[in-house]
Homo-oligomer: A and B are copies of this chain.
Amino acid sequence: MKKFINEPDNIVNDTMEGFVNAYSDRLKKVEGSNVIARKAKKGKGKVGVIIGNGSGHEPACIGFVGKNMLDCNAYGGIFAAPGPDTLLEAIEEADNGEGVVVLISNHAGDVINSKMALDMAEDDDFNVAGVILYDDIASAKKEEEEERRGTVGTLFNYKITGTYAEEKHSLEEVVKMAEKVRNNTRSLSVATVPGTSPITGQKMFEIADDEIEIGMGVHGEEAACNMKMDTAKNIAKIMCDKLIEDKPYSDGDELAVIVNGCGQTTYMELLIFFNEVRKYLKSKNIKVYKPGIGNFVTTQEMGGIALSFCKVDEELKLLWSKETDAPGFPKLLP
């Protein structure tokens, strides 16, 4: 394995230490806890928004803590959900008397630990609510949406719900916004090359040299199907069709779009792929609103692209594009 690390046991600590020192003007690590939080004093009346996640997917989700995004990120082990104690510490740090919404990306460990943390927080008289996020259409059938995994589409929620909470809506309203964004979101990924586990040094799965897998999870979970490598244009069409068919997104809609690089896919390819998505959606009379193109949720150096759509109205457009200082979020506005 040729990764720039020290002891594998220290990866999480070393990553956090590098991160909070790089962005010490705005972010901090909560003393004694694997929680990344904003440094600025909290404004009165703002509901907290947090998420816990396994590390190894950077910039997700430490890179999404900041003004108009998350208040805290509870940072777990490599590909492992943070424990309930860490999530509780994130809730405590994010609470400002108005309560905290815990966004939960739908994976078994994240759901179990987040629910335990929510119970513990209620016992401690915090006003809390959890919203489970699921967006990966490859991981369960339509009408079984709640069984689907949370993948890169959760980023719409971190940004839109995060910005909404900044406008000082109530806990119930913030929960409703998170549910609305989730319900408007669908994602699908395609993998070309496996990533390497930074702990074991092993490839995370196998793919034939001339094939790609459609529907791979963010931890290398089994794909829905595989196909021969094809042009960006053809792959974009296949993925758009699957997403449009599921939602459905239809004629006249406007979509915020994420073209997410999974690790080693170049920005050049992301731009070419985005261009094909844009043209195909245009042919369906669907408009793209301020795309996010880059590496947001990675699976180490896995090759591949995750495509995610969120149907947006005027309110959601403003919330999606409003500026944030979260280091991992793109500059959507000039």
Contact = CB atoms under 8 A, between A and B. Distances in A.
B334 A11 contact: no
Contacts of A18: 270-275, 278, 293
B267 A4 contact: no
Contact of A21 (B3, B14, B278): B278
A271 B19 contact: yes
Given A265-B301, A300-B266, A301-B265, A229 B2 contact: yes
A269 B3 contact: yes
Contacts of A263: 264, 266
A193 B232 contact: no
Counting every copy of the chain, the complex holds: 2
A238 to B, nearest CB: 12
Given A58-B268, A269-B3, A17 B301 contact: no
Contacts of A210: 2
Contacts of A63: 267
Interface in A3-60: 3-6, 11, 14-15, 17-19, 21-23, 25-26, 40, 55-56, 58-59
A325 interface: yes
Given A58-B267, A265-B301, A303-B301, A25 B333 contact: yes
Nearest to A193: B2
Interface in A64-122: 66-67
A268 B327 contact: no
A7 to B, nearest CB: 8
Given A268-B198, A271-B18, A6 B233 contact: yes
Interface string A114-140: 000000000000000000000000000
A330 B327 contact: yes
Interface string A248-278: 0000000000000001111111111111101
Contacts of A178: none
A291 B18 CA distance: 11
A235 interface: yes
A56 B325 contact: no
Contact of A55 (B264, B268, B291): B268
Contacts of A185: none
Contact of A295 (B272, B290, B295, B331): B295
A235 B4 CA distance: 8
Contacts of A198: 268
Contacts of A271: 14-15, 18-19, 22, 58
15 contacts: A2-B209, A4-B305, A5-B272, A6-B276, A15-B268, A15-B271, A18-B273, A18-B274, A22-B274, A25-B333, A56-B268, A67-B334, A264-B301, A266-B301, A327-B331
Please give me the 9 A-B residue pairs with the lowest Cβ-Cβ distance, nearest first.
A18-B275, A264-B264, A18-B271, A26-B334, A4-B269, A2-B192, A58-B267, A264-B301, A14-B272
